Amino acid sequence: MVNFFHNGARGCRHLFFPCSLVGNARLRYIDFMNLEAFVLGCGGMMPLPYRHLTSVLLRRDGDLFLFDCGEGTQVSLRRLNLKWKKIDAIFISHTHADHITGLPGLMMLSSQVDRDEPLYIYGPPKVADYVESSRKVLDMYINYPVVVKEIIAPCVVHEGKDFYIKAFPLNHTKPCVGYTLEELDRPGEFNPEAARALNVPVGPLWSKLQAGQSVTASDGSTVTPEQVMGAKRSGRKFSYVTDTMYIPSIAPAVQGSDLLICESMFSQDMEDQAREKKHMSARQAAAIARDGQVKQLGLIHYSPRYTDKELDLLLQEARNVFPDTVLTRDRMVFDIPYVD
Residues tagged active-site: 98
Measured CA to CA in angstroms, residue 220 lies from 200, 211, 255 at distances of 10, 20, 46
168 has which bridge partners? 178
Nearest residue to 302 via CA among 36, 126, 39: 39
Is residue 208 within a helix (H) or strand (E), and if so which, with residue range?
helix 204-210
- DSSP class per residue in 49-65: TTBPBSEEEEEETTEEE
Q: How far apart are the first and last CA of the chain?
A: 15
* Nearest residue to 337 (alpha-carbon basis) of 255, 259, 225: 259
3-state secondary structure of 21: helix
CB 124 within 8 A of CB 94: yes
Sign of CA dihedral 95, 146, 300, 339: positive
Number of residues written out for the chain: 340
- Given a contact cutoff of 8 angstroms between Cβ atoms, the answer to whether 45 and 303 are in contact is yes
Of 308, 173, 158, the closest CA to residue 238 belongs to: 158
Residues 8, 38: Cα–Cα separation, whole Å: 14
Q: Is the peptide bond before 154 cis (omega within 30 degrees of 0)?
A: yes
Distance CA(64)–CA(57), nearest Å, equals 7
